[in-house]
Amino acid sequence: MTRIIVLPHVELCPDGAVIEAKPGDSICDNLLANGIEIEHACEKSCACTTCHVIVREGYDSLGEAEEEEEDLLDKAWGLEPQSRLSCQAIVGDTPLVIEIPRYTINMAREGKH
């Protein structure tokens, strides 16, 4: 198991959390499996930005983002260089520290098609 530290988020985990994540599963799936109800409006199909997270530590241990993810991230609220869509970022063996941004933009519902 790989440790993920989730920094405090006003609504989802006000006190923050430390979870034991399953390597090979996405950050999103690991958060959901541990009771952190991160939004995932597109059902984890890489079609929105609601599961956007900022990887504060361990970013380089994640595989590179595909072009589709990069294009969506450009539209995410609070984008930072260490931003990822949690549904696309697969946990490895390196511990992670993540921050869930305060706001999300639902590109599936609010974006231009």
Tell me if the pTM is above 0.85. yes
* Residue 65 pLDDT: 96
Give the 3-state secondary structure of residue 73. Answer: helix
Mean pLDDT by 10-residue block, N- to C-terminus, for the chain (113 residues)? 97 96 98 96 93 98 96 93 98 98 68 44
Burial (CB count within 10 angstroms: exposed 0-12, middle 13-18, buried 19+), residue 27: buried
Q: Is there a contact between 91 and 24 (Cβ–Cβ < 8 Å)?
A: yes
* Residue 106 pLDDT: 65
Cα–Cα distance for residue pair 94/57, rounded to 1 Å: 9
* Residue 58 pLDDT: 98
Domain locations in the chain? 2-110
Rounding to the nearest 10 degrees, give the CA dihedral for residues 102, 109, 42, 55: -30
Cα–Cα distance for residue pair 75/35, rounded to 1 Å: 27
* Residue 59 pLDDT: 98
β-pair partners for 96: 4
Third-level CATH fold of 2-110: Ubiquitin-like (UB roll) (3.10.20)
